[in-house]
Amino acid sequence: MQLYEYIKTEIENSNIRKGEKLPSKRALASHLKISIITVETAYAQLMAEGYIISKPGSGYYADTFDDFQQSEFLQEKEENIPEESEILYDFRTNRIDTSDFPFSTWAKISREVLSERSEELLNACHAQGIPKLRLMIAQYLRDFRGLQVSPEQIVVGAGTEYLTGLIIQLLGRDNAYGVENPGYSKVYEIFSANTSRVFPIPMDEKGASAQAIAGFGIDVIHVTPSHHFPLGTVMQVSRRQELLRWAYSKEDRYIIEDDYESEFRYTGRPIPPLQSIDKNGRVIYINTFTRTLAPSMRISYMVLPKELMHKFTSRLGFYSCTVPVFEQLTLARFMEKGHFDRHINRMKKIYRERRDILAEKISEAKFGDIVKISGLDAGMHMLLTVNNGMDQNELVLTAARCGARVYRLSEYYSFPVSDMPENTVVAGFSGLSGQQLIKGAEALYKAWAK
Amino acid sequence: MQLYEYIKTEIENSNIRKGEKLPSKRALASHLKISIITVETAYAQLMAEGYIISKPGSGYYADTFDDFQQSEFLQEKEENIPEESEILYDFRTNRIDTSDFPFSTWAKISREVLSERSEELLNACHAQGIPKLRLMIAQYLRDFRGLQVSPEQIVVGAGTEYLTGLIIQLLGRDNAYGVENPGYSKVYEIFSANTSRVFPIPMDEKGASAQAIAGFGIDVIHVTPSHHFPLGTVMQVSRRQELLRWAYSKEDRYIIEDDYESEFRYTGRPIPPLQSIDKNGRVIYINTFTRTLAPSMRISYMVLPKELMHKFTSRLGFYSCTVPVFEQLTLARFMEKGHFDRHINRMKKIYRERRDILAEKISEAKFGDIVKISGLDAGMHMLLTVNNGMDQNELVLTAARCGARVYRLSEYYSFPVSDMPENTVVAGFSGLSGQQLIKGAEALYKAWAK
């Protein structure tokens, strides 16, 4: 952050004048003898706050926004992290390949909805979301996840982050909450921002550690049994039952089951969700369309056990639904006409293919000797444990110099542990084409196997 | 709730069988010698939970949803409160007349956006909302509210309720929060659900009482200075300055200024927002498009003082934007082409007309003798203090019997006070046509002036 502060002050003092070109990240990193990633983080924050803008193909320029300089302002990349022009193969985990999205079908249905349903389109909808969408979701869960629920138990919301916040309000902020460690960082951040007691749940080879949960005196746990992010562990039935026994052995214990990406399973039979074997209404199921449709849409849902519905409607029923009716109607029709199922099946094939291409390339002869791959059963990324003497920082840096970006596994730990992984990185494959995966793997080889 | 529990149990036991017609609300109320409103509340809750459905023109029927009975389920009214077929003139305050919305223009722009911008439409946007929309909002605030802010200070979110929750996370849950009493009930509910110390701010003839705020040891207040809901008080400059002095006299004191409905002012010059005269970055401004566009869209925004931006981005910057990109792009273009300004101006004329029609009718001869009207300066409702010997319960009940619904002022008090209003009701006029307003006023006359 020192670099960020320095540049920000220089711009505010007009020592760096508006329109002045900043050094390229590579040049600045080299000059200051710091990592490109440090410079990149500083530039990203400056861009997000409007101090600098990026002109694609040209570089970074100091800018301010007091005069509503529309054209320059609007050229700003709308993502928080500017695309690294030196990185050609970004193995990021949250990239959905939007070129695979059936956009013209979605647009056609959107237009239909616009032309037919003007009255419903303008009025407020049911607090839990329009009945038709909840019905489609319930049918999807029944057909694809073996989960039998009523539309009344479903609550649609503008993102999993929002719904998680609602769950915290429902169950109570004073609970001791446990989040998987490692895990999806945002989960930790949401609980941390909304509660006062967040604990790490260590992972073992079977998944979230039931023993540790009991040991910490935790009340509510957030777990990803279908496919752990980022380790890829699939929680087997015996561990699931352990977790349920833990929950049942005391009043007011709950399990939040985040079933994100459960659609993309490549090996073995899908295991039905924890909620489907929960007899005492202690499992809250949550899932999203953000990973299966597109990140711009922000539609997620949770399924509350029947036992919690009354508490939900009486305590939190005053909240209006956060998803626009238009999106809900379009999605409901998209699902009704079978487009969602077809899209999932198509994406599953595409992602499996990409997984195979990357895994194969990395397993080739010399590369395969030094890289151990894990987490291949499901999801959109894999773990690479590299045995070439480099630690994860060097792995990331050398890869970046060769134009490929991978991610330190340690970044997914919100709590430090004594046995932090040292040489494992995360490589997502969902956002890259087959060609890019091959070239990206070659770049990794160049970086790590020389 | 006894009635609700009884009927629910009877349905669950199959003592009331699926498809069986329930008594009409009037009949049941008469039979049990309770008010129709009690029956209505019970029926509404049963409908929201799926125990009964309403067939328009036919009545209420017991139903369950285990079999996904699509056609009956989908006929269910999507609002939480079923329309009372006996109420012809509902003077509710949150009704936007959606027939006034320029739907075909909105649809046209939606289609344009769909056809041009497929890449942006699918990717995640900036956490604070797309730059173009924030720019349009900043320009609107400058031109219509005299508020000079940068788009960087604006955060777009899926509803004021959601943004209020973010503010609480930003400022800290352990603050002592003050909400206006009386006030908009949801405000109290949001603070109550998210914090542990919520205090009432009494209202006097000048607005929120600065003296009481100081007396209670409050840290953060939520106020509606443009036009208090529901009293209609417009906070004058002197009181505004008192509030700012209160905020400045201690670290970490903040004022949340909810400027909802400030667009609809009928008399006097609009007073610039509190935030525009705040020199120390203690006022958070919040507003919404839900009241000016349509309730189904759920787009709101807040303007954080520059001093809070760093804290916001570093602590809460991980949250993704909750409004779909599609809606944001459509709204930005709608505003850019001047449609929003024109719509506001048109609605202002329409609402002023309706206000005049209702106020005139109520002020006529005999009626005017017993009804005192207040809160006429702005907004979409007025207060009627009726001096005919009835208390507010009788006023509401007798009005309902004549087909008109008004609302007890006491419903807007989240905290009881020693001098609760006894005979004042709230009558919204935004959702009724001129004709309906006249007939509705006649119904009120019949109920109250016989």
Domain boundaries, given as residue ranges, for chain B: 2-62, 89-99+343-448, 103-340
pLDDT at B26: 79
Whether B296 and A68 lie within 8 Å, measured CB to CB? no
Q: Is A61 on the interface with B (CB under 8 A)?
A: no
The full 3-state SS of B208-252, as one line of letters, equals: ECHHHHHHHCCCEEEECCCCCCCCCCCCCHHHHHHHHHHHHCCCC
pLDDT at B14: 66
pLDDT at A13: 67
Could you tell me which CATH number the domain at A89-99+343-448 has? 3.90.1150.10
Q: Is residue B100 a contact partner of residue B291, using CB atoms and an 8 Å limit?
A: no
Whether B150 and A115 lie within 8 Å, measured CB to CB? no
Burial of A144 (0-12, 13-18, 19+ CB in 10 A): middle
pLDDT at A72: 35
CB < 8 Å to B50, chain A = 150-152
Torsion sign, CA atoms A30, A32, A34, A35: negative
Who contacts A54 (Cβ-Cβ below 8 Å, separation ≥6)? A47, A60, A61, A75, A76, A77, A82
Whether B65 and A139 lie within 8 Å, measured CB to CB? no
Indicate the range of B51-60, B304-313, B380-389, B398-407 predicted with least confidence. Answer: B51-60
CB < 8 Å to A110, chain B = 110, 114, 326
Percent of chain B with pLDDT strictly greater than 70: 92
Q: Is A230 on the interface with B (CB under 8 A)?
A: no
pLDDT at A117: 65
Q: How far is A222 from chain B (nearest CA, A)?
A: 18
- Separation of alpha carbons B29 and B31, rounded Å: 5
Which of the four CATH numbers 1.10.10.10, 3.40.50.720, 3.40.50.12280, 3.30.420.40 does domain A2-62 have?
A: 1.10.10.10
Question: Closest Cα to residue A225, out of A212, A237, A213, A215?
Answer: A237
CB < 8 Å to A122, chain B = 96, 98, 101, 103, 294-296
User: Distances in Å between the alpha carbon of A243 and those of A146, A199, A212, A249, A341?
Assistant: 20, 16, 11, 10, 31
Q: How far is A387 from chain B (nearest CA, A)?
A: 33
Indicate the range of A80-94, A183-197, B127-141, B412-426 predicted with least confidence. Answer: A80-94
Number of Cβ pairs < 8 A linking chain A and chain B: 208
Whether B122 and A130 lie within 8 Å, measured CB to CB? no
Mutate: best of A122, A128, A166, A168, partner B, most B CBs <10 A:
A122
Q: Is B294 on the interface with A (CB under 8 A)?
A: yes
Helix (H, G, I), strand (E, B) or coil at B44: helix
Instruction: Give the pLDDT of chain A (450 residues) as one tens digit per residue.
Output: 678 778 877 777 667 777 778 888 888 887 777 877 778 777 877 776 667 777 666 678 786 544 333 333 333 322 323 344 588 899 998 777 778 889 989 999 999 999 886 678 888 899 999 999 999 999 999 999 999 999 999 999 999 999 999 999 999 999 999 999 999 999 999 999 998 899 999 999 999 998 888 888 899 999 999 999 999 999 989 999 999 999 999 999 999 999 988 888 888 777 889 999 999 999 999 999 988 898 898 999 999 999 999 999 999 999 999 999 999 999 999 999 999 999 999 999 999 999 999 999 999 978 999 999 998 888 899 999 999 999 999 999 999 999 999 999 999 998 888 888 899 999 999 989 999 999 999 999 999 997
Q: Is B120 on the interface with A (CB under 8 A)?
A: yes
Chain A stretch 27-46, residues whose beta carbon is closer than 8 A to a beta carbon of chain B: 45
Q: Is residue A401 a contact partner of residue A393, using CB atoms and an 8 Å limit?
A: no
Q: Is B139 on the interface with A (CB under 8 A)?
A: yes
Region of A411 please: left (phi>0), alpha (psi -120 to 50) or beta.
Answer: alpha
pTM of the predicted model over 0.90 = no
- CB nearest A135 (choices: B70, B122, B299): B70
Q: What is the dihedral of CA A184, A187, A192, A194, to 10 degrees?
A: 170
pLDDT at B101: 87
**B450 pLDDT above the threshold of 60:** yes
Whether A118 and B103 lie within 8 Å, measured CB to CB? yes
CB < 8 Å to A296, chain B = 120-125, 324-326
Q: Is residue A180 a contact partner of residue A226, using CB atoms and an 8 Å limit?
A: no
ipTM above 0.85, yes or no: no
Annotation: CATH topology of B103-340 = Aspartate Aminotransferase; domain 2 (3.40.640)
Amino acid at A302: M
Q: Which two tokens stand for residue B362?
A: 């109520």
CB < 8 Å to B95, chain A = none
Nearest CA in chain A to B196: A173
Chain A stretch 295-314, residues whose beta carbon is closer than 8 A to a beta carbon of chain B: 295-299, 309-310, 313
**B164 pLDDT above the threshold of 60:** yes
Torsion sign, CA atoms A273, A275, A277, A282: positive
Q: How many CB atoms lie within 10 A of CB B214?
A: 14
Indicate the range of A68-77, A397-406, B87-96, B126-135 predicted with least confidence. Answer: A68-77
Torsion sign, CA atoms A302, A307, A311, A317: positive
What integer is the mean pLDDT of B319-336? 96
What integer is the mean pLDDT of B187-208? 92
Chain B stretch 151-170, residues whose beta carbon is closer than 8 A to a beta carbon of chain A: 151-152, 158-159, 161-162, 165, 169
Burial of B392 (0-12, 13-18, 19+ CB in 10 A): buried
CB < 8 Å to B319, chain A = 161
Chain A stretch 364-393, residues whose beta carbon is closer than 8 A to a beta carbon of chain B: none
Domains A2-62 and A89-99+343-448 share a fold: no
Whether B295 and A127 lie within 8 Å, measured CB to CB? no
CB < 8 Å to A81, chain B = none
- Separation of alpha carbons B197 and B309, rounded Å: 25
- CB nearest A122 (choices: B70, B294, B320): B294
What integer is the mean pLDDT of B386-411? 93
pLDDT at B56: 61
Q: How many CB atoms lie within 10 A of CB B46?
A: 22
Q: Is B71 on the interface with A (CB under 8 A)?
A: no
- Separation of alpha carbons A437 and A443, rounded Å: 10
- Separation of alpha carbons A282 and A69, rounded Å: 53
Q: Which two tokens stand for residue B332?
A: 């930005």
Nearest CA in chain A to B324: A297
Amino acid at A201: I
pLDDT at A408: 93
CB < 8 Å to A49, chain B = 152, 309, 313
- Separation of alpha carbons A122 and A201, rounded Å: 44
Helix (H, G, I), strand (E, B) or coil at A73: helix
CB < 8 Å to B327, chain A = 324, 326-327
Whether B294 and A162 lie within 8 Å, measured CB to CB? no
- CB nearest A68 (choices: B50, B139, B299): B139
User: Distances in Å between the alpha carbon of B85 and those of B61, B88, B439?
Assistant: 15, 7, 16
Q: Which two tokens stand for residue A81?
A: 């992290």
Whether A150 and B66 lie within 8 Å, measured CB to CB? yes
Name the helix (H) or strand (E) containing B106.
helix B103-116
Chain B stretch 169-188, residues whose beta carbon is closer than 8 A to a beta carbon of chain A: 169, 173, 185-186
pLDDT at B271: 86
Q: How confident is the model at residue B81 (pLDDT cuts 50, 70, 90)?
A: very low
Whether A68 and B101 lie within 8 Å, measured CB to CB? no
Nearest CA in chain A to B82: A126
Q: Classify strands A59-62 and A52-55 as parallel, antiparallel or unpaired.
A: antiparallel
Q: Which two tokens stand for residue A287?
A: 């899932």
- Separation of alpha carbons B180 and B203, rounded Å: 7
- CB nearest B65 (choices: A150, A190, A319): A150
The alpha carbon of residue B156 and the mean position of all alpha carbons in its chain are separated, in whole angstroms, by 18
